[in-house]
Chain A
């Protein structure tokens, strides 16, 4: 079934409304439903699947407005010549320095894309100095601590807290 709004994508949201005994049905794709401000989280019978899937992730703040980069800026990176206007179109950056050069514009976008996260918690190249390595390790432990508190596993949380302090 095609989406009634865009008539391009297939409809995945099926809304039945009963108003004064009058029944009406609307069939939309996910994008169009979002545009029309319809919440698509609530009406799913496969409750258990949903809950498991959702609880495995941190809860998202509901429908924030998407930070976007306007093509207005023609400020160019001195290293590669990339501008935010050009980035907004592709969206690929020109060099590693762009992340520093356009930090204030890119950071909200990065956080939005990565569910509010902005600090690396994973693998670290061996050549990285001990100071930076410890900082990333602390990030990782803090994240585990948050998770432990959320799961009400206070024993694990206490251990993690001690580990973080030992690194500071």
Chain B
């Protein structure tokens, strides 16, 4: 299998069915940061030792039962566009794509598990699930972590827990992220309050797509910033029992308010988005994200009946720059990408 093989279908974490929760919570992710005892962290690790460590970790990962068929991509010897494809699918980080020296990613064929070797830490493993299912993520990731630990000694301190290159990941090394679609909170003007509230309880809010941290098309990633002094279960429970249900309730309420008070304004927004997407011949990835976001809301609210949610979800993924270029089989400039993007969207939305 090669990264390019992925460019024609969406990731499993972005293709969940439609229900009250997964309309709003697109996916759940848990990540663990680990380092190997006896090796310097990456900023001070010699090229030779980095290779040695890389080979040890790769061997350990490939020798255990990861619950799925896995493959390994040597990031150091992969083309830029393939690295970008893996980044667009959230299989590797931007840092890993742009890094130096021997580094790889081991990933499950269904993309529900990935392990980056020699990223910021020696090992960064993550498990994805569609919708809200953090408990399942942690159960699986915790078990994988145990299996690796049978073969590799992790750097651990009895006071500080698992030691990481950056002190912000100390302790559990655990980062929980939920990907949210909050178009109604945005339309009703409450999104900035959500962001402020999240910051106030030590959560980080980022965009789900594209460069930088701005949330494009009403997609947000909410993640914990505190990793030390709380157990894994406490961190996860704060999300699944406290914060996420509240956010779902508020987004749901905002959706109901839009439907009952301004259905004509809502339909106008949705149908205009659909009109542009069905007829445009040039469309940037930013504009596509914005408009698809409105259409996604329309489908989820039953205002658009002739398009299914799988089609919309698929378009988010397949119209990103690296996906387009691998699909075309060549490097495209911005105009060519915008043309191809518009064509794919037109074809998919008009066929339904």
Contacts and interface: CB of A to CB of B under 8 A. Distances in A.
B41 interface: yes
B44 A123 contact: no
A114 interface: yes
A45 B193 CA distance: 8
Interface in A5-47: 10, 12-13, 30, 40-41, 44-46
Contacts, number: 170
A106 interface: yes
Given A46-B250, A94-B44, A115-B202, A122 B161 contact: yes
Nearest to A115: B226
Contacts of B201: 53-54, 56-57
A47 to B, nearest CB: 10
Contacts of B238: 56-57
Nearest to B42: A92
B246 interface: yes
Given A50-B200, A53-B200, A80-B44, A120 B166 contact: no
Nearest to B158: A132
Contacts of A140: 231
B268 to A, nearest CB: 23
A46 B43 contact: no
A120 B158 contact: yes
A50 B150 CA distance: 43
Contacts of A118: 159-160, 228-229
Interface string B196-236: 11111110000000000010000000000111111110100
Given A12-B196, A53-B200, A93 B166 contact: yes
How many chain A residues sit at the interface, stated as a range, is 35 or more
B226 A117 contact: yes
A96 interface: yes
A56 B196 contact: no
B200 A95 contact: no
Interface string B168-211: 10111010000000000000001011111111111000000000
A136 interface: yes
B85 to A, nearest CB: 27
Interface string B327-343: 00000000000000000
A12 B195 contact: yes
A68 interface: no
B149 A125 contact: yes
A50 B192 CA distance: 12
6 contacts: A49-B194, A56-B238, A92-B165, A117-B226, A121-B171, A125-B156
Given A49-B193, A125-B156, 13 more contacts: A52-B246, A53-B201, A54-B201, A57-B202, A110-B170, A115-B226, A119-B229, A120-B158, A122-B230, A122-B231, A124-B156, A126-B146, A128-B156
